Structure 1
Amino acid sequence: MMRTPFEVPMDGLPDRVTIYEVGPRDGLQNESAIVPAGVKAEFLARLAEAGLTTIEATSFVHPKWVPQLADAEELLTRMERVPGVRYPVLVPNERGLDRALDHGVTDIAIFGSATETFARRNLNRSVDGSIEMFTPVVARALENGLDVRAYLSMCFGDPWEGPVPVEQVVRHGRRLLDLGCSQLSLGDTIGVGTPGHVTALLAAFAEAGVGPERLAVHFHDTYGQALANTLSALRAGVTVVDASTGGIGGCPFAKSATGNLATEDLVWMLSGLGVETGVDLESLVATSVWLAGELGRPSPSRVVQALAAESPGRRNVTQVPAEVPPAVEEE
């Protein structure tokens, strides 16, 4: 079996893509069992060793809502920070920011919604109310020299409201950027987007004065469209793509959402296109095999299944695609 794709570059793509790894936060917060802080710390170390340079470490969301990440402070104390690697932390409010500042965090993320229903279910407030909540968080973070990223959920469809108008997504996305966020990650929370929809949304942002250099994409693979949607985003100039090692993740507040785009699947595609990522695929696959053993279930990543199946003694954690339980509270 081929362990690397045949490289055939395609015109109109960036030379390099930054992978924003969300597995330790977006993926693990969806697990039904609590993953020990020591395992999480090793996961972070393995990801950095594989060449990932932006790894979202954890979240300061209240443990009542995300008990799987209740050990955020312990993890930040135990983890080894690798020079040149950024470890963003998700924060929902000023209290979360206080905790992040106390632990020397340099990069944070906030999470908004493009729809009113999901804002109510996820943040327990309206879209306007969420902007009011985020305003002092972003201002204080910037005053303290932190970088702030914004997530925008339900950019392509909402299970309660249906299709989300492009202009609505652009309007709410602009509001988050106007707070001072350096980047906006556009989330297909329930995985219903298609390539033409992605192209239209990015074009609408460009017409509103927001170029691809300010945007990232965050696709879920519910309908198998994540890689196709990513390729459309790259053609539109986007160079930052969110992904989760092993394809773990989903959304507990949107039960129709399944796993995130698998980092291994993304790296395979980009390698075949001649797009640099700086990520070692073999190391990443080995990490997913190890993580599958820790979680007690197989990795849903197709690349992990294909490559790890060749390794003796590992079929039990890789050969059968897993049904991923619902997972995160934002994208």
Structure 2
Amino acid sequence: MAGRAAFDKIELHLVRVLHTVITERSVSRAALKLATTQPQVSAQLRRLRELVGDPLLVRSGTGMAPTAVALELLAPAEALLRHAEQLFGARTPALAFDPATTRLTFRIAASDYLDPLFLPELVARIKRDAPDARVEILPLSREFDYRHALAHGEIDLVIGNWLRPPGELHLGRLLADEVVCLVAADHPAATNPRGWTAERYLAAEHVAPTPLHAGTPGVIDEHLAAQGLARHVAVRSPHFGLVPLMVARSRLVLTTGRLFCSRYVGQFPVRIVRCPVAFPPLVYYQLWHDLSHASAAGRWLREQVRTLARELQAQGARAMP
């Protein structure tokens, strides 16, 4: 790291360059955001590498990725710029955010359990208001460590449902959805709803999403286990959007939120029936790390998610009989 003499030569603009290069993951995009030239940013990046003793930004596939050291420096750099803003009473350009002109990449890890319209509508809204922004959607899967990714600045936001969300992350509740069953139109649960008992529900063949983590049962089975109950899961699939068609062509039972199921009634020969076992509502959250908590871009993104979730829930409530 830099000695005292080198430290005294570090100006605020160099911290701005460090913050912008790491968040943009591109020298050319950083130059655009800083309203300067690519050679100037490259020269400043070389100076930063000498001061820190780390490459900071390295090639990864077809793009660039920040090193572990760079990600460790991101939060202190953002804090320093924010403190400078408070100290001098002016908006620091590195932290300014204008959706209409931003070229940031928003990285969102999300499940597809909530509503098949949610992610398409979210992307449409982001692109409407931030036309030059890029959006990367990553699946929540058992191979993906979203907590590590959030802590290292690899993603900005996680959207999903948990019985007990991780305590170390910031949390925003989006909506609560009634748990129901989706079955084929000729399934006994649909043709004889009075005979659809808890015993028959547990004995039926069920289809369920692949758990997010190895060794964990998933939200529905976790709740059943807490009551000393277990169902027969005949099919597990990581592709939740394909499950309604599986249900339509079989005797499988899907247990999930009403909002998701309602999108497929009328599209496939399926019916929504009550769940004869009592479940608490499925609660969906957005999670983010302290790393991006104060970011203006992060706040804007979270507001888009929150507003959309409320609107979709209101639409679902109006559509209910």
**Do they superpose with TM above 0.5?**
no
* Bin of the TM-score, shorter chain as denominator length: under 0.3
**TM-score normalised to the size of structure 2?**
0.25
**TM-score normalised to the size of structure 1?**
0.24
